[in-house]
Amino acid sequence: MDTIERIPQHKLPGRTKSARIANYLEDLILSKQLSAGELLPSQQELAQKFDASSRSIREAFKQLEAKGLLTVSQGRRACVKCNNLDQFVESLTDSILRGGSSDTKLMLDLVQVRTSVEVSAARDFSRNPRRKEIVKDLRVTSDRMEKALRGIQARESKAIEEFRVSEGEFHKVLVRSNDNIILDAIYENLSPLLDESLAYSAMSYEEYEKKVREYQYIAEALQNGQTDLAVALVLVNLTDLKKKISAHAEKTSKFALA
């Protein structure tokens, strides 16, 4: 199959062989270079093309099958199941929403997804050709949050809303820096719930002030090419959010039982 070229592993995006292969095939499917119903080459042929083991090919297939993009049957070549991005995203987001057994669990799951995506973005940021533009956007949103602090100190609801909108935009800029059309589409579908989770990120003026510093430090670390620091700061920011969501749920539960 001419569509799938022989490409060296180091030229494909992703941190593992199976992830790199899955990402490459995913792009071919969603850009419709591989059509729905089309059969892929055998696992052995793909292993040769990607200079990988059959195990890596099987793991890549599992990832694509889980996303609804491939049909994989034992003894048969894998078949492209769907290459409609809107249908794919709708199916995936529906499965995410159905998987939440409670509002709290759903919120925590969504924050975990956001953590994985943003950590990946921060880790690969030094190779991003748009890094100057992205840092500029991150600084603009963190500056807006800082400007809202005076109103928050005066307990103005409008200022709190402005802060949360800007906070959501900061995360959106970081997520989109991955330059992955699937992540962008999923993020847009889930953004109302993701932004809702940020309501727990800060309650007191001191917490809002602390958040501003965190976002400014993230932008600064990315600008200076301090990858490890940026990753650590993103983890701290979102781990703190998860703790606050859990604490709020526990407090609400105790209040309901009282």
Q: pLDDT tens across 121-154, in order?
A: 888 898 889 999 999 999 999 999 999 999 999 9
Long-range contacts of 151-156 (CB under 8 A, 24+ apart): 152/205, 152/208, 153/205
In tens, the pLDDT along 32-84 reads 788 888 999 999 999 988 888 999 999 989 888 876 788 888 888 999 986 55
What is the extent of the structural domain holding 68? 9-83
Best-predicted range by mean pLDDT (23-37, 146-160, 170-184): 146-160
User: Does 198 score more than 50 pLDDT?
Assistant: yes
2 within some domain: no
Q: Are residues 168 and 202 in the same domain?
A: yes
User: Does 1 score more than 50 pLDDT?
Assistant: no
Long-range contacts of 53-58 (CB under 8 A, 24+ apart): 53/17, 56/16, 56/17, 56/18, 56/21, 57/18, 57/21
Q: Are residues 56 and 133 in the same domain?
A: no
Q: Are residues 239 and 146 in the same domain?
A: yes
Given 83, 106, 122, which residue is the final one in a domain?
A: 83
Q: Are residues 170 and 246 in the same domain?
A: yes
Q: Which two tokens stand for residue 172?
A: 């959106």
Q: In the chain, pLDDT over 90 holds for what percent of residues?
A: 36
Q: Are residues 97 and 53 in the same domain?
A: no
Q: What is the pLDDT of residue 182?
A: 65
Given 17, 48, 83, which residue is the final one in a domain?
A: 83
Q: Are residues 205 and 96 in the same domain?
A: yes
Phi-psi bin for 68: left (phi > 0), alpha (psi -120 to 50), beta?
left
Q: Are residues 44 and 145 in the same domain?
A: no
3 within some domain: no
Q: What is the pLDDT of residue 3?
A: 64
Q: What is the pLDDT of residue 2?
A: 59
**Mean pLDDT confidence for 201-225:** 94
DSSP state of 126: G
- For residue 129, the domain's CATH number is 1.20.120.530
Q: Which is higher by pLDDT, 253 or 55?
A: 55
Average pLDDT, the chain: 82
Q: Are residues 118 and 186 in the same domain?
A: yes
Rounded to two decimals, the pTM is: 0.63
Q: What is the pLDDT of residue 127?
A: 86
Given 22, 54, 83, which residue is the final one in a domain?
A: 83
Q: What is the pLDDT of residue 88?
A: 56
**Mean pLDDT confidence for 155-175:** 93
Q: Are residues 128 and 218 in the same domain?
A: yes
Q: What is the pLDDT of residue 6?
A: 57
58 within some domain: yes
Q: What is the pLDDT of residue 73?
A: 85
Cβ-contact 25, 4 below 8 angstroms: yes
Burial status of residue 238 (CB atoms within 10 A of its CB: 0-12, 13-18, 19 or more): buried
**Maximum Cα interatomic distance, the chain, rounded to a whole number of Å:** 68
4 within some domain: no
User: Does 101 score more than 50 pLDDT?
Assistant: no
- For residue 15, the domain's CATH number is 1.10.10.10
User: Does 183 score more than 70 pLDDT?
Assistant: no
Q: Are residues 184 and 66 in the same domain?
A: no
Q: In the chain, pLDDT over 70 holds for what percent of residues?
A: 81
161 within some domain: yes
Cβ-contact 3, 27 below 8 angstroms: no
Q: Are residues 139 and 151 in the same domain?
A: yes
Total domain count for the chain?
A: 2
